[in-house]
Amino acid sequence: MRKETSSNALNEKKINATCGMGYALSLIGGRWKSNILWRLLNSDKLRYSELRRLIPGISERMLVSQLRELEADQLVLRVVYPEVPPRVEYALTDLGKSMRPMLQSISDWGEMHRKVTAED
C-alpha cells in the first residue's frame, strides 16, 4: 500500500513555513533526523546496520521511517545492492550535502553553549 511516503511534515498544516526556517526545520526536526544526517555527513556512506549501531537508542521502525522520509525529501540516497545477503547503503544527495553549512552552524552553536547554559 506504500502510504505514499509522506515526505516531510508540513504537507498540510504542521510547522508554519512563513519563513524558510520552518521548512528547513521540518526536514531536520524530530528526534532522529539530525543524528542520522550528522553521521552521513561524517561518514559519506553507511549501511543500514552501521547506522543502527551508530545510533544506540533507535528502533528499527524509527530508523527505517526516518530514512524513508529523508529519502522522500531528497536529502538521502538509498542504494540497494542485489546481493545475498542483501546490502543497502545510504548516502547524502547533493541536496543533503548542501546542508553542511547549516548543520555545522547549528552544531557550532550547540557545542559552544551547551556547557554554559547546562553546566554538565
Partner DNA sequence: CCGCATCCTCATCGATACTG
Partner DNA sequence: CAGTATCGATGAGGATGCGG
Instruction: Decide if 86 contacts 49 (C-beta within 8 A).
Output: no
User: Which residue of 23, 25, 30, 103 would you call a contact of DNA, by CB under 7 A?
Assistant: 30
Residue 32 is a binding residue for DNA (CB under 7 A)? yes
Strand partners, 79: 89
User: Which residue of 54, 62, 72, 106 would you call a contact of DNA, by CB under 7 A?
Assistant: 62
Residue 49 is a binding residue for DNA (CB under 7 A)? yes
Residue 77 is a binding residue for DNA (CB under 7 A)? no
- Positive or negative, the CA dihedral 94, 98, 99, 103 is positive
User: Which residue of 43, 52, 55, 71 would you call a contact of its own copies, by CB under 8 A?
Assistant: 55
Measured CA to CA, the distance from residue 66 to residue 98 in angstroms comes to 19
